[in-house]
Amino acid sequence: MIIYDESAKSFYLEGKNFTYALRVTPDGYLTKDYFGKKIARADLGYYKPEWVKSFNPVIPGSKALFADIMQEYATAFLGDYREPALIPCDGRGVKIADLKYDSFRLSPEKKPVSSGIPTARGGETLEITLRDFDSGLKVILYYTVYPDLGIITRRAETVNGTDGEIKLERALSFTLDLYDSDFELLTLWGHHAAEKTPERIPLHHGRTTVGNVRGTTSANHAAFAALVRPETTEEQGEVYASALLYSGSHYESAEVDEAGRTRLCAGINPESFGWTLSPGESFETPEAAICYTDEGIGGMSRAFHDFFREYVIDPKWAKRRRPVVLNSWEGMHFSFDHDRLFDTIDALRGSGIELFVLDDGWFGARSNDKAGLGDWYVNEEKLPGGLRAISDRCRENGLEFGLWIEPEMVNPDSDLYRAHPDWAITVPGRTPVASRNQLVLDYSRPDVLSWIKETMYRVISEAGVSYIKWDMNRPLTENFSRFLPAGRQGEVQHRFVLGMYELARFLTESFPDILFEGCSGGGGRFDGAMLAFFPQIWTSDNTDADDRMQIQYGTGLVFPLSASSNHVSLSPNIRNGRIIGAQTRTDVAFLGTFGYEFDVRKYPADEYARIAADVEKYKKIAPLVLEGDVYRKGMRPRDNACVISVVSKDKSSAYVTFYQALNPHKTKPRFTVPGLDPDRLYRIEELDLTLPGSVLSQLGLVIPRFRGDFCTASFLLTAV
């Protein structure tokens, strides 16, 4: 609910559990009065801590200090020396935006953005216009409250209302001022095959920042940051978190000032950004989903999960069970031909697996990763009969067919690059910087974008597929486009991301029945904006079940299990050689969108034989995994054991996974079950037990000893 109180000149944005209160000060600035646990509506103008006294610049014509305002969208160089959201630069080099309140508008529905950046669906939206009355520059702040969740979204649009060019040197999505600094900062760092490792560190005076300038979300830092109280645990305590719906270079920062206040901000990374606005033009930032909860880190996860499932992921897919796939990558890499593929497909008949995915290597001169990207025609030498023949073979065996693409890339050793070297992001006169032997196509060029749209449309229409895996295997470098003038080179990265969104929108809308899975060398582009196009994303190239427990935990801090694509692969694991039994590998992969990734010739017969039953089990638990609320206890590798409960919204059923790394000999495994209704009785068939939720959550379960390390046990609980 959003309310404007004219007498107090205040806006109250009220979600399920929070109040977000803004006020126009007597000097005309928009200040944040409060954000936190829901409070009664009141005129909060009485609360004047006068934070910072000595020698601070005074607002002209007033006695108040700039530094005292809890600026809702902070600007720089007037007297608030904390981190700004916006730095505009006019033709004279003046970088001031003295943003004062101008007007507001309440709309029952969220309006779509014009730049093509994906935003969450949503209802009641508040637009507050701020204006620099001297220059004419305008900023429109957009707020959508999700009344059933502890979530509010924010974004900003800067309109050049001046009569000259304005160059934006930074335009973040939001700044968020809080009154104190009794926080720790929780972020997710990582690298390829080790995505989304939680890191929780105390704040200090000054700025603590994360982010990256790779032009893509990256495996290195997720577009996420949370302020958590030092005492906040998995189930209790306050959390203020931001998840950015953006897939390019991003930036998150928490600054503690000399008055002990904290300013959290996030948005496009200013280091690799610049944007020129002609008079009348505007720039839209990505949207940030901001969560408040006092139910701990688990409460934050559940709010974000609901948000992404209900308001971001295409409703057609969000809660639909996806087909169980076998992906060719780990089993075959590039070494396949017609016979090997046909043998694999034939072997899958009746296995329970529902869809075969042909990964990298089917096109151009692609027998390794050194050549062929960009040449999107089938390699007839490897695959006489083309993709249709493979698709037909799949259907004859009762399978659907899926295909891998990497549309944003080109190998220098490709017909495409030989014909159009200028289509890649490189600098004339300099040796191009390759990564995985490939270059990035310049999506800021309309000709490149229309070529790739046409090409991918042809590939997908001709292949007979019901699934596409869209990969992206390198970050951006050079950040130079031949298409743009010198003064606009700062726009390359963001224009690339906008071009990628345009392609993703075009393809997903052109093929509404095809399931698209995102991928970027694993989970390198696992962010809220990609979920608007791809209901599931390959979580990591690391399929080792133990490493995966950490990666899936980190991913699940923000994103729903339904979005996390997980596969059972061969043991010993191809990446780290760890030996883990089929039961554990399957139970871990069950906690998401489920599939396999192995060489059928090497997969042990006993493990192969269990697939059908495992797929049947997955079908049974899928509604819980896709729609349920997640409750966690413990996290790998910090804890030897952990528990993940996925509980139905009405708490009538739960799917509980217990994971234990090393096998202690001192006791049988025992654990408590989080998330149940304490007052209901739950039946656990596997243990022949019926117990109240309160007993299961307090005393818990004791289960038979495991033989060996890295073991799981899983249970379906049904309220009786």
- Residues carrying an active site annotation: 471, 541
**Closer residue to ligand DGJ in complex, CB, 30/468:** 468
**Closer residue to ligand DGJ in complex, CB, 566/645:** 566
Residue 359 is a binding residue for ligand DGJ (CB under 6 A):
yes
Q: Phi, psi (5° rounding) for residue 580? A: -140, 135
By CB under 6 A, which span of 74-82, 263-271, 413-421, 515-523 interacts with ligand DGJ? 515-523
Residue 538 is a binding residue for ligand DGJ (CB under 6 A):
yes
**Closer residue to ligand DGJ in complex, CB, 101/404:** 404
> At a CB cut-off of 8 Å and minimum separation 6, what does 154 contact?
141, 142, 143, 173, 174, 287, 288, 290
By CB under 6 A, which span of 79-87, 238-246, 501-509, 517-525 interacts with ligand DGJ? 517-525
By CB under 6 A, which span of 99-107, 349-357, 474-482, 519-527 interacts with ligand DGJ? 519-527
Residue 218 is a binding residue for ligand DGJ (CB under 6 A):
no
Least gap, CB of 137 to ligand DGJ (angstroms): 43
**Residue of the chain from 132, 541, 546, 614 that contacts ligand DGJ (CB under 6 A):** 541
Least gap, CB of 704 to ligand DGJ (angstroms): 36
**Closer residue to ligand DGJ in complex, CB, 329/533:** 329
Least gap, CB of 437 to ligand DGJ (angstroms): 11
CA atoms within 13 A on the CB side of 272: 24
Residue 379 is a binding residue for ligand DGJ (CB under 6 A):
no
| Strand, helix or coil for residue 371 | strand
Residue 574 is a binding residue for ligand DGJ (CB under 6 A):
no
Residue 4 to residue 657: CA distance in whole angstroms: 47
**Closer residue to ligand DGJ in complex, CB, 295/541:** 541
Least gap, CB of 361 to ligand DGJ (angstroms): 8
Residue 522 is a binding residue for ligand DGJ (CB under 6 A):
yes
Residue 360 is a binding residue for ligand DGJ (CB under 6 A):
yes
**Closer residue to ligand DGJ in complex, CB, 366/494:** 366
Residue 566 is a binding residue for ligand DGJ (CB under 6 A):
no
CB 408 within 8 A of CB 441: yes
**Closer residue to ligand DGJ in complex, CB, 193/225:** 193
Least gap, CB of 10 to ligand DGJ (angstroms): 49
Residue 301 to residue 186: CA distance in whole angstroms: 13
**Closer residue to ligand DGJ in complex, CB, 357/399:** 357
> At a CB cut-off of 8 Å and minimum separation 6, what does 27 contact?
59, 61, 62, 64, 100
Radius of gyration of the chain (CA): 26
Residue 287 is a binding residue for ligand DGJ (CB under 6 A):
no
Least gap, CB of 432 to ligand DGJ (angstroms): 20
Residue 334 to residue 144: CA distance in whole angstroms: 47
Residue 184 is a binding residue for ligand DGJ (CB under 6 A):
no
Quote helix, strand, coil % in the chain, to nearest 5.
25, 30, 45
Q: CA nearest 467: which of 363, 354, 302?
A: 354
**Closer residue to ligand DGJ in complex, CB, 276/543:** 543
**Closer residue to ligand DGJ in complex, CB, 142/533:** 533
Least gap, CB of 215 to ligand DGJ (angstroms): 17
158-177 binders of ligand DGJ (CB under 6 A): none
Task: Give me the sign of the Cα torsion angle 369, 370, 376, 377.
Answer: negative
Least gap, CB of 329 to ligand DGJ (angstroms): 4
**Residue of the chain from 473, 543, 564, 569 that contacts ligand DGJ (CB under 6 A):** 473
51-70 binders of ligand DGJ (CB under 6 A): none
**Residue of the chain from 150, 198, 296, 521 that contacts ligand DGJ (CB under 6 A):** 521
**Closer residue to ligand DGJ in complex, CB, 292/598:** 598
Least gap, CB of 440 to ligand DGJ (angstroms): 15
Residue 362 is a binding residue for ligand DGJ (CB under 6 A):
no
Residue 579 to residue 116: CA distance in whole angstroms: 46
**Closer residue to ligand DGJ in complex, CB, 363/706:** 363
> At a CB cut-off of 8 Å and minimum separation 6, what does 36 contact?
18, 19, 178, 238, 292
**Residue of the chain from 21, 87, 425, 519 that contacts ligand DGJ (CB under 6 A):** 519
By CB under 6 A, which span of 98-106, 157-165, 242-250, 518-526 interacts with ligand DGJ? 518-526
4-23 binders of ligand DGJ (CB under 6 A): none
Least gap, CB of 664 to ligand DGJ (angstroms): 35
- Shortest-Cβ-distance residue relative to ligand DGJ: 360
> At a CB cut-off of 8 Å and minimum separation 6, what does 657 contact?
587, 588, 590, 591, 643, 644, 712, 713, 714
Residue 328 is a binding residue for ligand DGJ (CB under 6 A):
no
Residue 118 to residue 505: CA distance in whole angstroms: 9
Cα–Cα distances (Å) from 226 to 208, 292, 523, 713, in that order, read: 12, 10, 20, 32
> At a CB cut-off of 8 Å and minimum separation 6, what does 40 contact?
none
Least gap, CB of 445 to ligand DGJ (angstroms): 25
- For residue 590, what are its two tokens? 């069950």
Instruction: Calculate the CA 647 to chain-centre distance.
Output: 23
Instruction: Say how many C-beta atoms besides its own lie within 10 A of residue 133's C-beta.
Output: 11
- Binding residues for ligand DGJ, rule CB under 6 A, total 11
Listing DSSP states for 509-528 in one string gives HHSTTSEEEE-BTTBTT-ST
392-431 binders of ligand DGJ (CB under 6 A): 404
- Contacts of residues 28-31 at CB distance under 8 Å and 24 or more positions apart, as own/partner, are 28/100, 28/101, 29/59, 29/69, 29/71, 29/99, 29/100, 29/101, 30/71, 30/72, 30/73, 30/99, 30/100, 30/101, 30/128, 30/130, 30/141, 31/69, 31/70, 31/71, 31/72
Partners of residue 12 on adjacent β-strands: 3, 21
Burial grade of 461 (CB within 10 A; 0-12, 13-18, 19 or more): exposed
Instruction: Say how many C-beta atoms besides its own lie within 10 A of residue 320's C-beta.
Output: 14
* Ranges assigned E (strand) in 295-430: 325-327, 355-358, 400-405, 409-410
Least gap, CB of 551 to ligand DGJ (angstroms): 13
Residue 329 is a binding residue for ligand DGJ (CB under 6 A):
yes
Residue 471 is a binding residue for ligand DGJ (CB under 6 A):
yes
Partners of residue 716 on adjacent β-strands: 655
Residue 517 to residue 577: CA distance in whole angstroms: 27
Which residue ranges make up the site for ligand DGJ (CB under 6 A)? 329, 359-360, 404, 471, 473, 519, 521-522, 538, 541
